[in-house]
Structure 1
Amino acid sequence: MADLKPQGQPRAQRKLHPKSKHLTRHASTTTSAYPNNASNTTKDVQSVTLELEVDSMALEPLQPRIQSQRPPSLQSDLPWRLSIAPNTLPSSGSNAAEGAKSFTQFFGTALVVNEQAIRLASQSPLASSVSKQALSRPSKPGSAKAKNKSPQHKVVVGDSRDEKVDPSPDSGGIPNVSNEYLNASLSDPSQLGQPQHLLVVIDLNGTLLYRPNRKNPTKFLMRPHAQSFLKYCVDTFKVVIWSSARPENVAAMCGTILTPDIKRRVVAIWGRDKFGLSKTDFNLRVQCYKRLSQVWQDEKISRSHPLYREGHRWDQTNTVLIDDSREKARTEPHNLIEVPEWYGDLKERDDILPQVHDYLNHLSMNSNISACLRSHPWQPTVF
C-alpha cells in the first residue's frame, strides 16, 4: 500500500478546503458581522487539497496511487494537490479495501460522490467497514433514490453541473483576454491613503446560494452569511448582480436572497439575457462569459460611480468579479475573486464570504485591482 502521509512538514496556517482547488497561504480575519456556528466543525487535515479520480464502478476496493501535482507558481514543501487513481484491483480486494479505509481514517474525511469524480470533503468518516461491492451510478443530491441509500453508500451533498458546450460564433464564440488589459494588469499597484470606490459584480448560484433542483427553480438554499455579506457590500461599495440563469430564475433567486432594502440599492440585476447569446444558444447549456467591458459600457452602471461627474468611470482598476467559475472571467481574469462552489450543505462550516469581505477591504486600498489580484490572488482559508 502506498505511503499516504503528505510529504514535508505542514505549515500551521494552511488548512484543507473541502471543495476548493486552492491551497491557502494566509489566515484571514472573520469580522463580528459573521458569527461562528459552533455546531459546524471542520477537521484540520493537513495542507493539501485532494481529488479522487476513479471510475464509478471501481470505487471499492481500490488501490490508491498518489501523484502530486503542483503548479510552478506555488512555492511549497507540500503537494498542492493529490490525485488518486486505481491500480489493478487484486482479486481478493482485502488489501485494497484496507488501504482505502486507512486513507479515509487518516484524513478524517468522507467520500463525496458525483457523476464525474469522487472528491474528499471534510465531513464525517466512512462507515467502519468498507464494502467490497462497487457503487452504482450515484443519484443527484436531493433525489429519493439518494436518500434511500444504505449507510455505507451515503452520498454527501454535492453536484457536478452538466457539461457545457462552447458558445457559437453568433454568440461571440470563446473570447480572449486583450493585450491592453494584460498590460494594464502588469503595472505596480500603489497603496492608497484611503479606500477607493469599488464596483463589485456578484454571481448567484454556486456563489451566494444553491439551487438543488433545476426543475424547481424557485427553491434555493442560501450560503452561510450571504445576506450579511450582501448588506455589507451595498453599504460599502456599488453592487451588480450578474447570473447566467434565465431572467425569471434570477428574479426568483433575488427574491429569496435580497431584502427590499438591499434590492433597492443594488445598481443592476442581470441575467442570461445580458450575455449576447443567440436565440439558439440562449436555450442551450452553453458556457457563458462575463465580459466586464460590457458592464463598464452600460450607461446606468457607469453613472453609479460616486465621482462620475468628475470624470471617473468603472474599469479594471476598480472592479471586482466574485464568481465560482474562473472560465466565466476569461476576458478579465485578474479582476476575479474565485470562491469555492457551494453545494448547499448547511452542516458544513463555511466562512468563505467573511473572508471575501475582508479581502475586498484590502483591495479597496490599492490603486489597481487587476494588478493587485494578479500579483496576490485571493485564496480561502478554512479553520
Structure 2
Amino acid sequence: MLTSQRLLIVFIDNSSTLPQKKRPKYTPPCKRRKLAANGRKCVYLVPQDRVWKDEWFHIKFEENERNCAHKELLVLDLNGTLVWRGPRKKNKSRDGYPRPFLNEFLKFAVDNFAVMVWSSAQPASIADMLNKMLSPYHKQFIRVWDRRFCDIEGEYFAKSRTVKDLERIFNGFSLADSPNFNVYGTYNGYTGMCSDAKGKWTIENTVIVDDSASKTALQKDNHIFISPFKDPLRTNPDGSPADNQLLKLKEYLEGYTAHKEQYPALLDYLKTHPWLEFCNSVQVHSE
C-alpha cells in the first residue's frame, strides 16, 4: 500500500537577530576638508587658502612678460623639481629645502630665457615657496600659474590627477577661462597672462621642466623630465650635495644658448639632443 509523504518547510525570519552592516555615514566635502584640517586622514587637500586674493599683482608679472626680450620660454615646476616640501605638521609651518645649485640655475635661466612657474599646488603654497626659496629671481618671472590653471580630472580640493596643457599658454588661456577661477571666492579679474604677448610662445620655442611625466603627457617632446627631489639632506662622502640635476640641466641648456644659430627652434635642439641621454652620460662639477 502506497502512502504519500508531505515535506513541511518552515521559513524562519531571523533577520532581526542577525548583525546588520551599517552603511557608512555620508560626509559632505566641506566636512571632509574640516577633518583634514584637524589632522584626520582624508583624501582631500587642506583648503587653507580660502582667503587667497591673488597677490601676484604685487610682482607685476604681466609687465615682465610685456617687456621680455627673450624668445624662448622655460616653464618650471616647483615641488619635487626645484624644491622639496615636507609633510604638513599640526600648528607648524612645513619644512622646505631648495634643490642644490638652485640659485646658480635660476640666475642662468632668467638671463637666457623667459621663465614662468606652473605648479599644481594651491596659490598660497606657491607664494610661500617662491618667497622662501626662489627669491629674488621669482620677481623676474613672466607668469606664475597655480592649480587653477591645470586641467583637473576630479575635484579641485581632492588628490586628483592634474595635467599641464602647454596649449593653454600658446592660446592665451587666462584664469577667467578656468572652471576653478573663483574657487577661493575672491576672484577680482586676475588673468595670469599678458594679453599683449598672446601668440608669442609656441610649441617650437617652449620647454617644460617637471618631475612628473603624467602631468606633461600632452606635449612629451617639450618635456624635460628631471628626477624627483626627495632627499634634501643626502650628501656625497666628501660632504658635497649628492643631487646635481640642476647643474646638469644648466649645462644642457647652455648647449642650446651657445649654439642657438644652429637650431631653427628650441624644440629642434630637444629632439636632436635627448635630455635623458645627456643626463645619464655627462658628469658635471660645481665651480
TM-score (normalizing by structure 2):
0.57
Is 1:357 matched with 2:250?
yes
Deviation at 1:226, TM superposition (A): 0.9
Give runs of aligned pairs for residues 300-315 of structure 1, distance below 5 A.
300-301=193-194, 303=196, 313-315=200-202
Correspondence for 1:223: 99
Correspondence for 1:232: 108
Correspondence for 1:138: none
Correspondence for 1:333: 220
Task: Give the fraction of aligned pairs with identical amino acids, expressed as a percent.
Answer: 30
| TM-superposition CA deviations, 1:204-241 (whole Å, max 9, x none) | 00001111214466421111011221122112210001
Equivalent of 1:294, from 168, 190, 197? 168
Give, in whole Å, the separation in 2 of the partners of 1:346 and 1:246.
26
Q: Do the aligned residues in 2 keep the contact of 1:302 with 1:313 (CA within 8 Å)?
A: no
Which structure has the bigger radius of gyration? Answer: 2
Deviation at 1:375, TM superposition (A): 4.1
Give runs of aligned pairs for residues 156-175 of structure 1, distance below 5 A.
none
Give, in whole Å, the separation in 1 of the partners of 2:101 and 2:112.
16
Q: Do the aligned residues in 2 keep the contact of 1:218 with 1:252 (CA within 8 Å)?
A: no
Is 1:323 matched with 2:210?
yes
Correspondence for 1:347: 234
Q: Which stretches of structure 1, 4 residues or more, deviate above 6 A after TM superposition?
A: none
Give runs of aligned pairs for residues 184-263 of structure 1, distance below 5 A.
197-215=71-89, 218-260=94-136, 262-263=137-138
Give, in whole Å, the separation in 1 of the partners of 2:108 and 2:194.
19
Q: Do the aligned residues in 1 keep the contact of 2:75 with 2:209 (CA within 8 Å)?
A: yes
Correspondence for 2:8: none
Give, in whole Å, the separation in 2 of the partners of 1:225 and 1:350.
9
Correspondence for 2:182: none
Give, in whole Å, the separation in 1 of the partners of 2:214 and 2:196.
28
How many residue pairs were aligned? 182
Equivalent of 1:267, from 136, 142, 148? 142
Give runs of aligned pairs for residues 70-149 of structure 1, distance below 5 A.
none
User: Runs of 5+ in structure 2 lacking a partner?
Assistant: 1-42, 45-69, 175-192, 236-241
Code of the residue aligned with 1:331 in structure 2: it is L
Distance 1:319 1:301, change over 3 A: farther
Correspondence for 2:267: 370
Local SS of the residue matching 1:328: coil
Local SS of the residue matching 2:163: coil
Deviation at 1:358, TM superposition (A): 1.7
Give runs of aligned pairs for residues 53-72 of structure 1, distance below 5 A.
none
Greater shift, 371-380 or 263-272, is seen at 371-380
Give, in whole Å, the separation in 2 of the partners of 1:323 and 1:302.
26
Q: Do the aligned residues in 1 keep the contact of 2:118 with 2:146 (CA within 8 Å)?
A: yes
Distance 1:244 1:283, change over 3 A: same
When you count helix as a share of all residues, which structure comes out higher? 2
Distance 1:303 1:339, change over 3 A: farther
Local SS of the residue matching 2:200: coil
